[in-house]
Amino acid sequence: MPGVYPGMFPFGGTQATRHARRVYVGGLPPLANEQTIATYFSQVMAAVGGNTAGPGDAVVNVYINQEKKFAFVEMRTVEEASNAMALDGIMFEGVSVRVRRPSDYNPSMAATLGPSQPSPHLNLAAVGLTPGNAAGGADGPDRIFVGGLPYYLTEIQIKELLESFGPLRGFDLVKDRDTGNSKGYGFCVYQDPAVTDVAIAALNGLKMGDKTLSVRRASASGQPKPDQANVLAHAQQQIAIQKLALQASGANAVALGGMGFPGLPMMGGMFSGIGGMSPVETPTNVVALTQVVSPDELKDDEEYQDILEDMKEECGKYGNLVKLVIPRPRDGEDVPGVGKVFVEYSDTAGAAKAKASLHGRRFGGHSVVAVYYPAEKFSIEDYGG
């Protein structure tokens, strides 16, 4: 049954600040109760130097749901609640518990009430934690919502995907409190705020198997900052794609647990140890598509023009199309590249989006293979690669 630990309220916490003074603690051990939780977290906060409001216990109130094994722990101040976020993963009565913000936490409003991040001076080693833990604490004005995640991806795999753009300051994968299974969405914050819009631009709309990622800023102030406009434009070409587009060469799909998920990008070491992996490719602004057309389809002039126009229309959806080449067979000649479609974009951003979207598509009973093609060879009309 839910219960409340009636703590002392020397600081007179108000309802208006309550959302920012509480933390969610999940995965509680079976014998935990209001008193043990309050005592333990007050002692831990003191041990790490998180009691910034002065002497006394940091915890003033505990609401516990015994059936679902979670509790809301209320601190004296907003700053102490933010410090408590650094305790994610701490061992409590032999169990590693999760420390998160509650669902009613408002990052924008909380930012006006006090620090929204743990103090960097906390002595986490005193309680067996590693400083810089990025499992939780995904709050702040640069908080990113990541939706449409395939349910089969683990927390580690999702973090590897996100960290391909830079180190995370915080990451929260939302899970069902009864089953512990992923709900298919989460939140993250990057250590470098400049990475925020880069990651959003590169990941939003990305197809992962039968899912499409929906990635955006989580807060009301979720628009690219003016001073990041140039960073975003440049990063789409220089940074995001260099990391986003690392995909196993020639692979039709990534096997996860015996299941194929076409079009799923490989982010560096992502999914290492799961299925065989080919060497990664070097991103270019040219994509080669195979298993799209057959040589016989290209012999008829009218049919060839139809295919050419269809491919231009489809490939033009992913970026600024510069040139599209479909080599045609010629009687008595061995023409390099017959059966392939070569697509040149103005930048690697368009090429990466096309590659991720087209790779694994079913066409004429075959699964399309999309790979990067050397721009130098394409420029001299060498299609024999």
Question: For residue 307, is pLDDT > 60?
Answer: yes
Percent of the chain with pLDDT over 70: 75
Mean pLDDT, rounded, of the chain: 76
Averaged pLDDT, 54-77: 90
Give pLDDT, residue 17: 86
Q: Is pLDDT larger for residue 5 or for residue 36?
A: 36
Q: Is pLDDT larger for residue 4 or for residue 200?
A: 200
d(CA 277, CA 269): 10
Averaged pLDDT, 278-282: 51
Question: For residue 6, is pLDDT > 50?
Answer: no
Q: Which residues contact 211 (CB under 8 A, 6 or more apart)?
A: 148, 149, 150, 184
Question: For residue 331, is pLDDT > 90?
Answer: no
- 184-199 pLDDT, tens digit each: 888 888 888 888 888 8
Q: Return the exposure string of 130-150: e unless at least 16 CB atoms fall within 10 Å of the residue's CB, then b.
A: eeebbbbbbbbbbbbbbbbbb
pTM: 0.39
Q: Is pLDDT larger for residue 27 or for residue 253?
A: 27
Q: Is pLDDT larger for residue 104 or for residue 230?
A: 104
Strand partners, 173: 186
Residue 131 pLDDT level (bands cut at 50, 70, 90): low
Q: Per the structure block, which two tokens stand in for 233?
A: 């434009």
**Using H for helix, E for strand and C for coil, what is the string for the chain?**
CCEEEECCCCCCCCHHHHHHHEEEEECCCCCCCHHHHHHHHHHHHHHHCCCCCCCCCCEEEEEEECCCCEEEEEECCHHHHHHHHHHCCCEECCEECEEECCCCCCHHHHCCCCCCCCCCCCCHHHHCCCCCCCCCCCCCCCCEEEECCCCCCCHHHHHHHHHHHCCEEEEEEEECCCCCCEEEEEEEEECCCCHHHHHHHHHCCCEECCEECEEEECCCCCCCCHHHHHHHHHHHHHCHHHHHCCCECCCCCEEECCEEECCCCCCCCCCCCCCCCCCECCCCCEEEEECCCCHHHHCCHHHHHHHHHHHHHHHCCCCCEEEEECCCCCCCCCCCCCCEEEEEECCHHHHHHHHHHHCCCEECCEECEEEECCHHHHHCCCCCC
Distances (CA, A) of 284 to 237, 349, 350, 383: 10, 9, 10, 15
- 233-251 pLDDT, tens digit each: 444 444 444 444 444 333 3
Give pLDDT, residue 230: 46
Residue 266 pLDDT level (bands cut at 50, 70, 90): very low
Give pLDDT, residue 142: 78
Question: For residue 283, is pLDDT > 50?
Answer: yes
- 208-223 pLDDT, tens digit each: 878 888 888 875 444 4
Averaged pLDDT, 78-92: 90
Residue 130 pLDDT level (bands cut at 50, 70, 90): low
d(CA 172, CA 99): 10
Residue 41 pLDDT level (bands cut at 50, 70, 90): very high
Question: For residue 310, is pLDDT > 70?
Answer: yes
Maximum average pLDDT range among 20-24, 173-177, 255-259: 20-24
Helix axes 229-238, 348-358, angle to 10 degrees: 60
